[in-house]
Structure 1
């Protein structure tokens, strides 16, 4: 019995030796960590300030012979620099390399000719796509490589820009943090910024919407000189890019769907036009409901909001915020502003874009009225722009702040 125990211990020790350590271990400095990806058309500019002859030489050097397809896209990668003893405090923590082609996988592999280390995508933070690319092809073709590669993560942020995507990767944040991480973090507080479409816009959700043939909203990002701003949204009908909507339409959409968590609503004071007051939302109860009466389909959205009076630029010498009647007038003014915001968003998406944003109306009709949905689902794209929306809003101001 004792011999069996000794043999068992020896076997366990041998097994521990086999499983100890990392058999495929690589040192951090032996990998190039990709933090950001930018996708432009192949004819997009390489670097600002280069003359045409220099730009042509750069393009010829960075790319490869392509026997099939054509030079269609410019793929740019932002790589992390590891700090060295001689690095200056103002030196950028990243650098960018590019390649042109049609297959993103082929371009990535050919970029090993520009990199002294293997390219590692498990820490990829953001994918930025130029709308020039999306006007030429569908979103599904662009993200196919990223959804198949096992190194990609579902939480990668996906943005659309009306400018050159590479220029955003070359942007150096004033905080001196790595650019890809900075760009990805811009959307972190989207629930507190009504003007950003940030809910369910990661790569995983985007792929899920594409698989289910749903409409998609992706955040819009722009750069001008040294100013980067996230706001508004790119709108996709299935995987086809149809245009942009502004931040005010996104705010109305969030109110309609109840996806905001802490919104600010500003409007004119009832007795002092031209002077603003602001309502800070803490909690809401929003319900979007479909109705079918014979052959008529319409939707109602009932919004109840609760929060604080966050700012009042009115003449407080005449107006008393402790007066319940005055507070009720403010509540009515805020409710009207929210209603107009929702109607504006509905008009933009339903009348102008003719796109059921993220297919929320279709989903509600399918859930509440499955028999009706079964009859009209093939004609929904034509029916949706004609479906009325009735909006009801009620605002309750619970506190007026630390000063009356």
Structure 2
């Protein structure tokens, strides 16, 4: 698998190099030079999820990793369910929150951890990542306790739910968390600056677990195949419309890569909250980044999504336009209504999934049917769900176990010099 830097196409790397580096020169994203195409899609879709995922990963890595090794990485990472539940006669929800940290990020984080563990060798390394909510927990859980890996997670102080925060700030050991006085974009910018700093990058053997890391995306490609496989059991031969809750746009990138491999998806809907840079761009052709707004769907509080260049590059390569990708943004009031409308249908959702469900409903036409991604367990947003739906959600065991633990984070201003000082004092 060869990848190139979208900003500097002359920089070409292998999958192993891309996993280790995270970002390329000048903060450039790595992108595959070729997308493998599935020869017998019907046969592939009949396979169980893990077996099918092993086939998909092998298609990408067959020139670089022994089949037995890649199969083992997949089997170790994907060991939980992802059911597709019917909401109404035209919509289904793929529930991606049945992993250890109750969010879709478990797929990418666990697979990346397996890849890093396989590729890193004996030298210690540092994972530096930013989170708008769920990445932090998934990454912390995936790497927790590994002897040669230190993890540093930056998150916007006061802008994620308390239960989200507790899932990754209460661990200790090799997990270090920084509560940054700023929004997610500020956290993300600090991570990018760290990767540009040679002292940090080389001195701490820096790597990133954000969706900018190609291993994360490769894992996420797999569950789109599972979504279509389950969807076609109820709707034989029908290509679904898929609505994706979108913040940093790694999730949508993975879906588009799956479609480029031949997966029968009619089109995608990028569903966002008030941070609507992409829906506005898709409607007007003008890329304008507004200040980030804090919302109840905080994992999507991203105004300048890092993965958008990958989306743009793939759409250009494949010749895809508005017939393949559209955007829908919901206000806070519309998000509240979306949650309530789903409950009327008998389906309980947190804000991110509800936004995608409403965006799907808005865009379905004629005899179209589709699915949306449920990216987090409702209890991860217990305060919001309880308030908006007038319920009292019980805490699942994973959340109950951390609810009473103290937060171990260090508070830090959004200042790169302070971050650098912390990193070397703690890990250098």
Question: Do the two structures share a fold, i.e. TM-score over 0.5?
Answer: no
Q: TM-score interval w.r.t. the shorter chain?
A: under 0.3
Which has more helix, going by share of residues? 2
Larger Rg: 1
TM-score by length of 2: 0.24
Of structures 1 and 2, the one with the larger relative CO (CA 8 A, separation 6+) is: 2
Q: TM-score scaled by structure 1?
A: 0.25
